[in-house]
Amino acid sequence: DRDATLANLNIAESVSDFAKAEVVVEAVPENFELKTKIFGELEKVVSDRTLLATNTSSLSVTKLSSAVQRKDRFLGMHFFNPAPIMKLVELVSAEGTSDQALVDARAVCAKLDKTAVKVKDSPGFIGNRVNRPFYLEALTLLEQGEADVPAIDTAMRNVGGFRMGPFELLDL
How is 48-88 classified by DSSP, letter by letter? TT-EEEE--SSS-HHHHGGG-S-GGGEEEEEEPSSTTT--E
The question of whether 11 is a catalytic residue gets the answer: no
Of the candidates 71, 84, 78, the one whose C-alpha atom is nearest the C-alpha of residue 116 is 78
138 in Cβ contact with 167 (< 8 Å):
yes
Q: Where does 26-170 have alpha helices with state H?
A: 32-45, 61-64, 99-111, 127-143, 149-158, 166-170
Which of 78, 92, 94, 97 is the catalytic position? 78
Say whether 24 sits in a helix, a strand or coil. Answer: strand
Backbone angles phi, psi at 76, to 5 degrees: -95, 140
Instruction: For residues 56 and 125, give the distance between their C-alpha atoms in angstroms, rounded to a whole number.
Output: 10
Q: Which residues are known catalytic residues?
A: 78
